[in-house]
Structure 1
Amino acid sequence: MANQNDSFIDEVTEELRRDRLYGAMRRYGWIGILLIVVIVGGAAWREYSLARKRAAAEAWGDAILAAEAADDPAAILAVDPRGSTGRAALAGLLAAGEYAGSGDDAAAAETLRGVSDAAERAVLIDLAQLKLVMLNGSDMDPSERDAILTRLSRTGAPFELLALEQKAVALVDAGRSEDAVSLIRQIQQKDGLTEALRRRLSEMMIALGAEPEPADMADATN
């Protein structure tokens, strides 16, 4: 008899639990449904936004390639960046390269200065300024050239080694050949030198009448 009573009590207790659970679901279930809708909707919107961005980037890239194929720097600059300052800066860098390739260094320099003034990403500003020095360094104000290269050649900067190379070129232009050779030897001891940069440094050493290291001599003559 006791067992039957216990069993009956358990059943009643279980029924009460179910009633409470169903009641809670009826009362608060909409919250869970709303959360699911928000999560699914958010994921769908994110995918939609990414797809739009990809499409916009592809359309911009196709337009840039078409302008490059036409060998028209002005057409490159005219491509709508679709509100992206990064795309505008990249277009400016590409257009500057086209101007320089066609021999219009003045237009190339003006375009690079425009990129440097308008770009928001530091790496694009640095690249534009480095290209400006490489293109027009000997005609720049020496103090401006030195200020740019000092900033770009700081330890850990993205274009540190290339900026140091341009510093050596500036020293040569200033008639300070011994200082240039000393700087080149310091650059050659740094990590991360590409073969192309190592070769250029070796060739500069030879042009300055300095004796490069044997390995550098081999690189310069290959």
Structure 2
Amino acid sequence: MSDTESFIDEVNDEVRRDRLYGYLRRYGWIGLLAVVLIVAGAAWSEYRKASMRADAQALGDGVLSALSQPDPQDRSAALATLEAGTPKAQALVALLTAAAAQEAGDTATAVDALNAVAIDPDVDAIYRQIASFKALTLQSETLDAATRRQQFSALATTGTPLGLLAQEQLALIDVAEGDTQAAIDGYQAILRDASVTSDLQQRALQVIVSLGGAPDLDNLPLSGN
């Protein structure tokens, strides 16, 4: 290689280095910012995880402390003071509060706690359905039959976890209103459902017989539950 070519290569290298340093001076802060953001994001993620674990532990300790109260009214009051960080946790605490209030004979408080869960759109559907079902059963003596029938009908959808139990409640409303045939038909429909549990199946058979009906035993599904 000639001296001229060597000199040209050195000049080109210098030019490239100058350009590189220029780019670093001009845009290097972007890379530095990216590194800072990545580190900060990782730190924030770890902080959130630790905070969530601490909150969950605190809530668990609070629930255990509340449930250790021997008096159901004290349990209900202690549970009502707990603050849960997620909708699911709030729903579970509300269900426990309702159970304690019901045991204490405070039906109004139990119903209020259950209804709060039933109408919360942030709570999983199964918790809303359980809360709604339980609230309706607690109001069998205070809520008119038409309203209970309408709301139980909404829960009596085929395939839902509480569907057959809601159908049973509808049949019981028929019994209370003196519509014996409607009640028998309702229980027969429960018996024919493949998802019927053995306990519900036995109750349906007993009620049909007590109402003077004849259970349709030929189409009775096998229940392993």
Output the TM-score relative to the length of structure 1. Answer: 0.75
Q: Take 2:36 and 2:188, find their aligned partners in 1: how far apart are those partners? A: 65
Which of 165, 169, 179 does residue 166 from structure 1 map onto?
Answer: 169
| 1:178 maps to 2:181 | yes
Q: Take 1:193 and 1:168, find their aligned partners in 2: how far apart are those partners? A: 15
Q: Take 1:203 and 1:58, find their aligned partners in 2: how far apart are those partners? A: 46
Question: Displacement of 1:212 after TM fit?
Answer: 4.1
Question: Displacement of 1:28 after TM fit?
Answer: 1.0
- Contact 1:168/1:184 (8 A) holds in 2: yes
User: What is the match of residue 35 of structure 1?
Assistant: 34
Q: Take 1:165 and 1:20, find their aligned partners in 2: how far apart are those partners? A: 81
Q: Take 2:80 and 2:137, find their aligned partners in 1: how far apart are those partners? A: 25
Q: 5+ unaligned residues in a row in structure 2: which ranges? A: none
Q: Take 1:18 and 1:156, find their aligned partners in 2: how far apart are those partners? A: 71
| 1:100 maps to 2:102 | yes
Q: Take 2:144 and 2:138, find their aligned partners in 1: how far apart are those partners? A: 13
Which of 77, 80, 83 does residue 81 from structure 1 map onto?
Answer: 83
- Contact 1:77/1:88 (8 A) holds in 2: no
Q: 5+ unaligned residues in a row in structure 1: which ranges? A: none
Structure 1's 7 and 55: CA in aligned 2 closer, same or farther, altered over 3 A? Answer: same
Output the TM-score relative to the length of structure 2. Answer: 0.74
- Contact 1:202/1:212 (8 A) holds in 2: no
What is the total number of aligned residue pairs between the two structures?
A: 217
Question: Displacement of 1:58 after TM fit?
Answer: 1.9
Structure 1's 214 and 191: CA in aligned 2 closer, same or farther, altered over 3 A? Answer: closer
User: What is the match of residue 44 of structure 1?
Assistant: 43
User: What is the match of residue 211 of structure 1?
Assistant: 215
Q: Take 1:44 and 1:34, find their aligned partners in 2: how far apart are those partners? A: 15
- Contact 2:97/2:113 (8 A) holds in 1: no
Q: Take 1:69 and 1:19, find their aligned partners in 2: how far apart are those partners? A: 74
| 1:63 maps to 2:69 | no
Letter in 2 for 1:144: T
Letter in 2 for 1:19: D
- Contact 2:192/2:219 (8 A) holds in 1: no
Q: Take 1:158 and 1:175, find their aligned partners in 2: how far apart are those partners? A: 28
SS at match of 1:70: coil
The sequence identity of aligned pairs, in percent, is 35
Q: Take 2:16 and 2:202, find their aligned partners in 1: how far apart are those partners? A: 82
- Contact 1:99/1:108 (8 A) holds in 2: yes
